[in-house]
Amino acid sequence: MPSLTRIPRSARKSSDDRRVEFERRVLSAVEDLLGDGTPYTELAVQRIAAASGAARSTFYRYFPDKSSLLVRMAELATADLFAAAETWWRAEHTDEQAGVVAAIAAMISGFRAHRYLLLALSEVSAYDRAVARYWRTRVAGFAELVCTRLDTERAAGRVAPRLDPQSTALVLTSMVERTLTVAFASETGITDEELAASLGRAIWLVVYGDAQTTA
């Protein structure tokens, strides 16, 4: 007769599922603590573990230090944020500025949802090598995607021949990253819709604004 208390093996959560669930709890706990005004550097591991309902030993099994914790939390927080922009850069650009504005609006929405964590990431990456390496690599990967698309657009004659894909990708990526960081670091009075419209327009004009001119 089957046990009435033992959970069937097929119904148990896999180790991957348990990890994802745990990481999501930690992400929520960290963002709540940062949202209360506590700087990331002052967040004790014990406090984070307690807020996420985990034992300290369990916490260290997943995150050996606060640098690895911040990197993993940033990966979770930026997944959708980058996906929105990557989708636009891979799509057909036949809708003038509407597509890029929508992509930027999605990025802004994602940044707002995780603003405390992402601002902490920006701050900590200034002095923590592991965190800085992760963020540089992540942004560089996105810039490479942009560069590849710009190179394709130039070869197809859809952008000005003098547009340099590599430097333009660097400019666009840095512009978006810095704009969002500044916009959320303090109260600017600019709405998310206004920011998306202006940033989207700037990106479109940099890429396609002089497409009809000659070199």
Provide the pLDDT for residue 142.
Answer: 96
Last residue of a domain, one of 46, 64, 82: 64
> 74, 121 in Cβ contact below 8 A?
yes
Cα separation, 112 vs 90, in Å, equals 24
Its pTM surpasses 0.75? yes
| Overall domain count for the chain | 2
Six-digit token pair at 14?
């896999």
Of 2-11, 65-74, 185-194, least confident by mean pLDDT is 2-11
Same domain, 141 and 81: yes
Cα separation, 74 vs 66, in Å, equals 12
DSSP secondary-structure letter at 8?
A: P
Mean pLDDT of 4-14: 52
Instruction: For residue 148, give the H/E element and its range.
Output: helix 129-155
Same domain, 143 and 175: yes
Mean pLDDT of 99-112: 95
Same domain, 88 and 114: yes
pLDDT at residue 11 is higher than 50: no
Any domain includes 7:
no
Provide the pLDDT for residue 215.
Answer: 45
Same domain, 103 and 127: yes
Six-digit token pair at 81?
């944020």
Q: How confident is the model at residue 213 (pLDDT cuts 50, 70, 90)?
A: low
Cα separation, 130 vs 126, in Å, equals 10
- Residue with tokens 């800085």, as numbered in its chain: 132
Cα separation, 211 vs 14, in Å, equals 52
Q: What percent of the chain has pLDDT over 90?
A: 75
Structural domain including 198 reads 70-208
> 46, 56 in Cβ contact below 8 A?
yes
pLDDT at residue 10 is higher than 80: no
Same domain, 55 and 130: no
Any domain includes 45:
yes
List the CATH number of the domain containing 147: 1.10.357.10
Cα separation, 82 vs 138, in Å, equals 9
pLDDT at residue 137 is higher than 90: yes
Instruction: For residue 134, give the H/E element and its range.
Output: helix 129-155
Which SS3 state, helix, strand or coil, does residue 125 take? coil
Same domain, 32 and 82: no
Same domain, 170 and 196: yes
Of 19-28, 161-170, 201-210, least confident by mean pLDDT is 19-28
